[in-house]
Chain A
């Protein structure tokens, strides 16, 4: 892997034929990797071909699939400043997911960051609501049992 990988700034480039030069982002989560093996692949890179326009990008997510892809797509596709958003899992045997964003003016990277923030906010709200409702359910059922 290239030693200068960490110094490149975004937008970054992923060239399928020169994977060794394409490593821009390192793994964020600690994973089971023996010390002497090859470094883990980056969590996210971009596909080559959109270098002259920062509003259009295809992001390649490692170890992700329909779960995150469709959830992100459903949010991004409803942003008013987005022209197109779609996702694909190019091959079922490869744990990779491509998310394509084409915006009118906003950089695609900013859109992706906004979508990730929104989705994590949604998770917080789902968790909060669910916890509240379970507590209410336990309380009302406890009362019903006491009365019965």
Chain B
């Protein structure tokens, strides 16, 4: 516990002590990654043995420097819905697209859109009265046709040879049921959209992650046996699964089962009889990373891209310095 942060009523104390001298071999010995959970959209993994600065660099790069594809230009031909043009365009821009950014180039400033850097989409939809609606119905879905505009109505228009490389399901919206607008009979939306590659630091719509965050691994230490009624009170003051109560010597005794899912509530401090025997802390170099993708790229690919971005920064600068000296 010596190296850990310890939480007191006044905040965390005891600064962590990383090795004071840098050496790549020491880093290699201390560093490890453990994958905890993974699916197509989300993953949780532990990064062990790094400084906060490196963990934070990866997190920041995931949020703002890993490129993704989003709609960046809208040509509005008709919008008689109640949503203003600019609000509608903003909503359109935030729809996540499935297109893989690695298949596209960054559009050069001032250059015309081409099949290598742009995806074209179209949305044409008109709300009408449903003449065959059942009598006396008050359901909007029965009364009107197309009164809800969903992302599934966005049609892909392949440019050049794009239709040979991709199918509509490879490039279109990640979800079919994103509500874009609501309309009433007679209202109409008609627009063309141009999607391109960008980075989160230019606009949040280009961020490839819903969230990318980390927290430190919690530790809990009981410095004295807590038994009887107090054991149950201790168990209740933490999240479920953190503290277990076992029978030992004929009485219930509290043991730490899994500190990982402690939420840091400090509720145990309300119980003055055992508060001082519970040491809650954090392991200073054990990061629990969570990456949630918006759906275009799998989360493990995103993390590898983030590492590549940081490496590219280093190699570009090194090349620049070596060229001039």
List chain A positions with a Cβ less than 8 A from chain B. Answer: 6, 9-10, 12, 24-26, 28-29, 32-34, 42-44, 61, 64, 66-68, 70-71, 73-75, 78-80, 109, 112-113, 116-127, 129-131, 133-134, 136-138
For A70, the closest partner residue in chain B by CB is B53
Tell me, rounded to whole Å, the shortest Cβ–Cβ distance linking A129 to chain B: 5
- Complex interface: chain A residues within 8 A of B322 (CB): 113
For B316, give its contact among A29, A66, A113, A133 (CB under 8 Å): A29
- With A122-B54, A127-B304 in contact, is A9–B320 under 8 Å at CB? no
For A28, give its contact among B60, B311, B320 (CB under 8 Å): B320
- With A71-B53, A112-B321 in contact, is A124–B311 under 8 Å at CB? yes
Tell me, rounded to whole Å, the shortest Cβ–Cβ distance linking A36 to chain B: 10
- Judging by beta carbons under 8 Å apart, are B324 and A9 in contact? yes
- Complex interface: chain A residues within 8 A of B35 (CB): 133-134, 136-137
- Complex interface: chain A residues within 8 A of B32 (CB): 129
Query: Once bound together, how far apart are the Cα atoms of A71 and B321, in whole Å?
Result: 18
Q: Would you call B109 an interface residue if the criterion is a C-beta within 8 Å of the partner chain's C-beta atoms?
A: yes
Query: Once bound together, how far apart are the Cα atoms of A48 and B21, in whole Å?
Result: 30
List chain B positions with a Cβ less than 8 A from chain A. Answer: 18-22, 24, 27-28, 31-35, 38, 45, 51-54, 56-58, 60-61, 65, 106-110, 300, 303-304, 307-308, 310-325
- With A28-B317, A28-B319, A71-B54 in contact, is A129–B33 under 8 Å at CB? yes
Q: How many A-B residue pairs have CB under 8 A?
A: 135
- Judging by beta carbons under 8 Å apart, are A134 and B300 in contact? yes
- Judging by beta carbons under 8 Å apart, are A70 and B56 in contact? yes
- Judging by beta carbons under 8 Å apart, are A44 and B61 in contact? no
For A120, give its contact among B28, B60, B109, B318 (CB under 8 Å): B318
- Complex interface: chain A residues within 8 A of B314 (CB): 116-117, 119-120, 123
For B325, the closest partner residue in chain A by CB is A10
For B107, give its contact among A32, A109, A113, A134 (CB under 8 Å): A32
Task: Give 8 A-B pairs besides A28-B319, A68-B57, A125-B27 with Cβ atoms closer than 8 angstroms.
Answer: A29-B316, A43-B317, A64-B313, A67-B56, A70-B56, A73-B53, A74-B52, A134-B35
Residues of A contacting B: mostly: helix
Tell me, rounded to whole Å, the shortest Cβ–Cβ distance linking B36 to chain A: 9
- Judging by beta carbons under 8 Å apart, are A109 and B325 in contact? yes
- Complex interface: chain A residues within 8 A of B315 (CB): 116, 120
Identify the interface centre among A24, A32, A80, A137: most chain B CB within 10 Å of its CB.
A137
Tell me, rounded to whole Å, the shortest Cβ–Cβ distance linking B285 to chain A: 12
Query: Once bound together, how far apart are the Cα atoms of A28 and B22, in whole Å?
Result: 28
Query: Once bound together, how far apart are the Cα atoms of A131 and B301, in whole Å?
Result: 10
- Judging by beta carbons under 8 Å apart, are B60 and A66 in contact? yes
- Judging by beta carbons under 8 Å apart, are B316 and A43 in contact? yes
Identify 6 residue pairs between A and B in the complex whose beta-carbon atoms are under 8 Å apart, listed by A's number: A10-B325, A12-B324, A71-B54, A74-B52, A126-B307, A137-B38
- Judging by beta carbons under 8 Å apart, are B20 and A32 in contact? no
- Complex interface: chain A residues within 8 A of B307 (CB): 123, 126-127, 130
Query: Once bound together, how far apart are the Cα atoms of A116 and B310, in whole Å?
Result: 10
Tell me, rounded to whole Å, the shortest Cβ–Cβ distance linking B77 to chain A: 28
For B27, the closest partner residue in chain A by CB is A122
- Judging by beta carbons under 8 Å apart, are B20 and A78 in contact? yes
- Complex interface: chain A residues within 8 A of B319 (CB): 28
- With A25-B324, A118-B22, A134-B35 in contact, is A44–B54 under 8 Å at CB? no
For B108, the closest partner residue in chain A by CB is A32
For B60, the closest partner residue in chain A by CB is A67
- Judging by beta carbons under 8 Å apart, are A10 and B304 in contact? no
Query: Once bound together, how far apart are the Cα atoms of A131 and B321, in whole Å?
Result: 31
Counting from the closest, the 3 A-B pairs by CB-CB distance are A78-B22, A123-B311, A74-B53
Query: Once bound together, how far apart are the Cα atoms of A137 and B300, in whole Å?
Result: 12
- Complex interface: chain A residues within 8 A of B21 (CB): 78-80
- Complex interface: chain B residues within 8 A of A42 (CB): 320
Identify the interface centre among B109, B311, B321: most chain A CB within 10 Å of its CB.
B321
Identify the interface centre among B51, B56, B313, B325: most chain A CB within 10 Å of its CB.
B313
- Complex interface: chain A residues within 8 A of B323 (CB): 25, 28
